[in-house]
Structure 1
Amino acid sequence: MVSSDNSIASSNGSLLFDERRWVTQICSTLEEEVEEGVQIPVSVFSVPKTLLSIKPEAYNPELFALGPYHHWHPQLYEMERYKLATAKRTQKQLQSIKLRQLVEYFIKKEHTIRSHYHRHLDFNGETLAWMMTIDASFLLEFLRNYSNAKGKVFRKVPTMSHMVDAARMKLAYNCILRDIMMLENQIPLFLVRKILRFQCPSYQSADKELSNMLIGFVKEVSPFKMMENFSSIDVRRHAHLLQLLYLMIVPNAKEASETIDETEVHIGIPELNDTKPTGNPSYVKKFFNSVWSQASGLQILGVLATRPIKFLVKIPWKIISKFPGVSILAARVAKLFFFQGDEKSEDEDSSNEPPLVEEIMIPSVTELSNAGVKFSATKGDLTTISFNSRTATFHLPTVSLDVNTEVLLRNLVAYETTVESGTMVFTRYTELMNGIIDTEEDVKLLRQRGIILNRMKNDEEVAKLWNGMSKSVRLTKVGFIDKVLEDVNKFHSSRWSVKARKIMKTYVFGSWQILTFLAAMLLLLLTCVQAFCSVYRCGSRRDNVTNLG
C-alpha cells in the first residue's frame, strides 16, 4: 500500500514538474514577445504526411541531426561526437569570449530560435541553446569547404578526414549534404553568423566570409547553374539554407497566387488524348499505322489543304455525311480538312479559373519532337521556361541530376508547400517535367539538347526520378508556366499528323461499329465492281486493248 502511494506521489511529482516547466515556458515566451515586439515568420515546418508517406527516406536524416526535430533519434546520436569535436575547435577560434558565453547569448535569443520552428520544442532554454551552439558550429565548419580558402577544414582533422576528400566522392559526404538540405533538419542562419562574428574582427568581414561560403555552397548543390555572376548574398534575408537555395532558384513572383481552398488533389500527368478504345483490333491498328507512316512522308495532307481540293471535297461531303455511320465521323473529318488554325481554344475563356488536374496534361518529349517541337536549354532559373510558337522551340533551364538531387527536389517542394504563401512555381516545374518525361528515350532527347546533365547511372534512373515526383499538393496557378503548357498543347494539337491519329484512334480503331461499316462499304463497292464487269465485260475489254498494243 505504501509503495503504491509512493508511486502515485512520484507520478504526481513528475506531472507537477512538467506543469511547472510548461507554465515557466509560457510566461517566458509571452514576456519575450512583449519585449521584442517583432514577429519572426515560421520557416521550419514538419513535412506534410501526404509527401512523407511517398518516400520517407527523402525527408528523414540518415547520418546526423541538425536542430531539434530529430535530435534524440538513437540512430543519429553516434554523430554527436563529431559535432562535439567541431564545437571544441570553435571554442579555440573564438577571439574574445568563451563557448559558455556564446551559449548564454543564445539563451537570451531563445524566443527568436523557437519562432523559426512550427512544431513545439519540448526543451528548456539552456538545452536548446547548447544544441544550437553545437549544431551551428558543425554547420559552419562544413560550409567552410565552399569558401575561397584553399584549406579544407575537415581534411585537417583526423577524426573528420573520412567525410570529405578532394574529389568529394565519399559516401559520408553525400549523406551529410542530403541531411543538411532536408526541411526538418534546418537551423537558423543567424546562429552561424553570430559564431562567425566572434571569430572575425567585424560584422562586415564575417558577413563577407559567410556570403562567400554560401555562394560556393549554392553553386555546388543547386541543380540549376545560374549563379556564375552572383557576387554576394545578404545573409540576414534568409532564415536557413533550404530557403536560401529556394529563393536562388525561384525568384519572388510578382503575380498573386490563386489557390484552391485547402483542397488536396493527387497530381498526375495523364497521357494526352488517352481515350480507351471499345475494342482491340490490333491487326487493323498495325495496318493503318503502317499505311499512315508511309503516307505522312508524301506531304499528302499539304495537298489536301489546298483550296481546289477543299472545294472538290466540300461539295460531295454534305451528301456523303448523310449516310448512316459516316455522320459520326463528319465533325472530326471536317475539322481535318477545313481547319483554319485561327479558332480560339476553350481554355482561353477560363484562363482566370483555378487550374484543374486535366490542365496539367502535356505530351511527352518524344511526342512533341515527332510533332516538330525543338528543345533548347537556357542558363537561368525557372523564369526562363518559355515556348516560341513561331519557331516551335521549347526553352527549359539546364538541370544537373546526381545521387543527391531527388532529396533536394523533394525537400524544395515540401518547403514551398508548407512555407511559401505565393505561387508554387517549383512544384509546377516538377509537374511539368513529370509530364514531358515518360521513358528513358525522353531523357535521352533532353540530354542531347543539354537540358538534362545526367550524373546518375543511366537515363532510366532519371526517368524514374521525375516519374516518382507525382504527389498530393495544393493546386495554384503559375501564370507563365500555365501559358507555356497551353501554347505547347495548342501547337501539338494543331499538327495534321496529331489530328489524323486522334481521329483514327478515337473513331476508327476504338469502334468496331465503324470498322464493320467500312468493311461493309468495301464489300458493297467490290460487289458493284463485279456487277459492272459482268455486264460490260471488263476483262475482255482489257484483253482487246492489250492485243491492240
Structure 2
Amino acid sequence: MTSTSLCNPLNATVTERSAQSSQAQAMASLHHSHPPFDELQWVIRIRRTLTDDLEDETDLPASIFTVPKALKSGNSEPYTPQEVALGPYHHWRPELREMERRKLAAARRVRRSRRGLGGPEFQALAEELAGLEGPIRDCYHRHLHLNGETLGWMMAIDGSFVLEFLQLYRKSSAHNAVILRDMVMLENQIPMFVLRKIVEFHMRSSPEESGAVLCSMLTGLCRELNPFEAAATAEGLPDVKVSESAHLLDFLYQMILPKTDWGRPSEIGNDDHDEAENGEQKPSPFTYAKQLVEEVMNNLRRLASSKPLRAVLMLPWKIISNLPVISAMKQTIEYLFFDEPKEDQDRKTTTPNVPPTVEEIAIPSVTELSKSGVRFVATTGSLTSIRFDHKMATFHLPSISLDMNSEVVMRNLVAYEAAAATVAACGPLAFARYTELMNGIVDTEEDAKYLRERGIIVNHLKSDREVAELWNGMNKSIRLTQVRFMDRAIEDVNNYYGGRWRVRVGKFFNGYVLGSWQILTFLTAVAVVLLLTLQAFCSVFGCSRASPFPSGPR
C-alpha cells in the first residue's frame, strides 16, 4: 500500500513533465513555422529608421517581389529555386539546405583571403551589412521576419557566394546551369548595393572601382543569358550602370530593353530600315504586279465604302435586296462588297490612351500569314525593330536564341516587369507584349520551323516542337498594356491579312456556306429550279442537240 502510494506521485510527476515537454515542442514548432511578432525589435527598427541619418540608399523602392499567383498557377517551377536560395524568401526551405555548405565554403575562402591581406574579419562585413538593415528591407516587397543581425549575416554569405560564382564564370565560363537559372529568378535576388558593398570590402576599393568590377562580372553573365544575342553583337552592349540597377535581373532587363529605347516609341514603326542589313532581296516583277492588283482592289473597296458613294448605292440596294431571290444572298453580298474596311473601324474604335483588349492581340499564325503572302525577315535589332512593311508585305522580327535557360529567363523578366510596374511609374510592358505576340503567331512546330529557317529563331533546344511548346506555354499576363510600335505592327498585319480576297472568300465560305445550311439549301433549290426551267424550255421549243457550227461538205 505504501509503495503504491509512493509510486503514484512519481508517475504523475513524470507524466506531467512529459506533457509539458510535448507542449513546448509543439509551441516551438509553431513558432518556427510562424515566427512570433517581436514588439521590442519592431520598436527598435522603427526608431532607427526615423532617427538615424542614413544615406540616400534608404529611400529605395521595392524591387524584389514575390511572383503573382496569376503567373505561377499551373507552372510554378520556373519561378521557384531548385538548387540554391539567395536572400530571405526561400532561405528556410529544407530541400535547399544542401547548398548551404557551398555558400559557407565561399564565406570561409573570403575570410581566409582577408586574413592573408591583413583585412578585417568576415564578421565585420556581416556587421556592416546589418547596419544597412533598413535599406535592405526596403528592397524586399514582402515583410521579412528576421532581425537585423540575421539579415546581415544572410546577405554577407549569400552575396559572397554570388560574387564567387560570377568570378568563376568570368574566368572559365564553366557554370552549373541549374544554379544559373536560380540566380535570375525574381524571388531569388540580392540587392545590387549589397553586392557593391561586398566587392568594396573584398578589394578595399572606392565605390567607383567596386562598381566597375561588378559591372564587368555582370556583363559577362548577362551576355550569356541575353536571348537577343544578335542585337547585342550588332548594336553593342548598352551602357547599363550598376548604380542604377536594383539587382541582377534588373541589370539583365536593362540590357534587353534599355531605357533610351522608350524616348520615341511612336516613331519607331515609321523608321526606314536598310533592306541590305536585313538580308532582303528585291521582289520579282510578278510580286509587283500582284501588289498592283491588290492596291487597285483596295482602292476600289475604299471608294465603294466612301460616304457619298455608299449613300448613292445603298438606296437602290435596299430596294433590290428585298426581292425574294436577292434577299437570301443579302448577307453574302454585303460581306464581300459593302463591309467597312477594318483599318477604318480600328481607327474609330482605337484610342491611344486605352489599353488593348484581349481580342485585339489576336493575330494569324506564321503558317496562315505566309500563305497569304507575308514574308518574315530577321533583324539584328532589339524589340524596337519589330514592324510590318505593308508595301512589301514583310514582317520584321528580331532574332532570338532559345536554349535551356530561355524559359526561366523570359518568364521571370515578364514577372519582374509586371511587378515593378505596380509600384513605380515605368515604361510599357514591352517584354510581356512581345511574348504575347510570339505566342499568337507560333501555334505549331511548323510555325517554329518556318521562323527557324528564316533566322528569326535560333534553336538550341531539342526540336521545333519544344520551341512551339515554350511559346504556347507563355500565355498568362498580369494585365494588358499598350506598346505603340508593337501594337501598330500587329494592327498592320491584321489589316493586311483581313484585306486579302483569298482570306475574305475563305472566311465567307467557312462562315456563311459551310456554317449555314440555309445557304446550301438555297443554292441547291436554285440549281434545281434552273434545271427544271431548262428542261421545260427544251420540251416546248425542242432543243436540238446538233452542233451550231456548220459541218463540211458531205
Coarse TM-score class (shorter-chain normalised): 0.7 to 0.9
Q: Could you tell me whether the CA contact under 8 Å between 1:29 and 1:111 is conserved in 2? A: no
> Partners in 2 of 1:210 and 1:112 — Cα distance?
20
Deviations 1:14-52 (A, max 9, x none): 98x976734323432442244337421001111111111
**Aligned partner (choices 218, 222, 225) of residue 221 of structure 1:** 225
> Partners in 1 of 2:484 and 2:415 — Cα distance?
21
Number of aligned residue pairs: give it.
483
When residues 134 and 302 of structure 1 are mapped into structure 2, their CA distance, relative to the original with a 3 A threshold, is: closer
1:375 aligned residue: 376
**Greater share of helix residues, 1 or 2?**
2
SS in 2 for 1:207: helix
1:238 aligned residue: 245
The worse-fitting range, judged by mean Cα deviation, of 474-483 and 181-190 is 474-483
**How far has the Cα of 1:441 moved from its partner?**
1.0
The reply on whether 1:538 has 2:543 as its aligned counterpart is yes
When residues 437 and 30 of structure 1 are mapped into structure 2, their CA distance, relative to the original with a 3 A threshold, is: farther
The worse-fitting range, judged by mean Cα deviation, of 426-435 and 315-324 is 315-324
Deviations 1:469-512 (A, max 9, x none): 11141222222222221111111111111111111111111100
Q: Which amino acid aligns with 2:129?
A: F
2:178 aligned residue: 175
> Partners in 2 of 1:130 and 1:457 — Cα distance?
42
The reply on whether 1:121 has 2:141 as its aligned counterpart is no
When residues 303 and 379 of structure 1 are mapped into structure 2, their CA distance, relative to the original with a 3 A threshold, is: closer
Q: Which aligned pairs between 1:99-110 and structure 2 lie closer than 5 A?
A: 99-110=122-133
When residues 196 and 325 of structure 1 are mapped into structure 2, their CA distance, relative to the original with a 3 A threshold, is: farther
SS in 2 for 1:524: helix
Deviations 1:359-379 (A, max 9, x none): 111111111111111111122
1:292 aligned residue: none
When residues 343 and 398 of structure 1 are mapped into structure 2, their CA distance, relative to the original with a 3 A threshold, is: closer
**How far has the Cα of 1:227 moved from its partner?**
2.5
Q: Could you tell me whether the CA contact under 8 Å between 1:212 and 1:232 is conserved in 2? A: no
Q: Could you tell me whether the CA contact under 8 Å between 1:193 and 1:207 is conserved in 2? A: yes
Higher RCO, 1 or 2 (CA under 8 Å, sep at least 6)?
A: 1
2:102 aligned residue: 82
SS in 2 for 1:377: strand
**How far has the Cα of 1:429 moved from its partner?**
1.1
**How far has the Cα of 1:116 moved from its partner?**
0.7
Deviations 1:272-319 (A, max 9, x none): xxxxxxxxxxxxxxxxxxxxxxxxx9x999999999xx9xxx999888
The reply on whether 1:196 has 2:216 as its aligned counterpart is no
The reply on whether 1:31 has 2:32 as its aligned counterpart is no
When residues 128 and 511 of structure 1 are mapped into structure 2, their CA distance, relative to the original with a 3 A threshold, is: same
Q: Which has the larger radius of gyration?
A: 2
The TM-score, its normalising length taken from structure 1, stands at: 0.79
**How far has the Cα of 1:111 moved from its partner?**
1.0
The worse-fitting range, judged by mean Cα deviation, of 511-520 and 115-124 is 115-124
Runs of at least 5 residues in structure 1 that lack an aligned partner in the other structure: 153-163, 257-296
Deviations 1:47-92 (A, max 9, x none): 1111112211111111111111111111110011111111122223
**How far has the Cα of 1:342 moved from its partner?**
9.5
When residues 447 and 26 of structure 1 are mapped into structure 2, their CA distance, relative to the original with a 3 A threshold, is: farther
Q: Which aligned pairs between 1:332-351 and structure 2 lie closer than 5 A?
A: 332-334=332-334, 336-337=336-337, 344-351=344-351
Q: Percentage identity across aligned positions? A: 45
1:397 aligned residue: 398
2:411 aligned residue: 410
**Aligned partner (choices 456, 460, 467) of residue 455 of structure 1:** 460
**How far has the Cα of 1:335 moved from its partner?**
5.4
> Partners in 1 of 2:450 and 2:512 — Cα distance?
32
Deviations 1:230-261 (A, max 9, x none): 275311111111111112222333589xxxxx
When residues 227 and 522 of structure 1 are mapped into structure 2, their CA distance, relative to the original with a 3 A threshold, is: same
> Partners in 2 of 1:22 and 1:302 — Cα distance?
75
Runs of at least 5 residues in structure 2 that lack an aligned partner in the other structure: 1-12, 266-289, 305-312
**How far has the Cα of 1:7 moved from its partner?**
8.5
SS in 1 for 2:232: coil
Q: Could you tell me whether the CA contact under 8 Å between 1:305 and 1:338 is conserved in 2? A: no
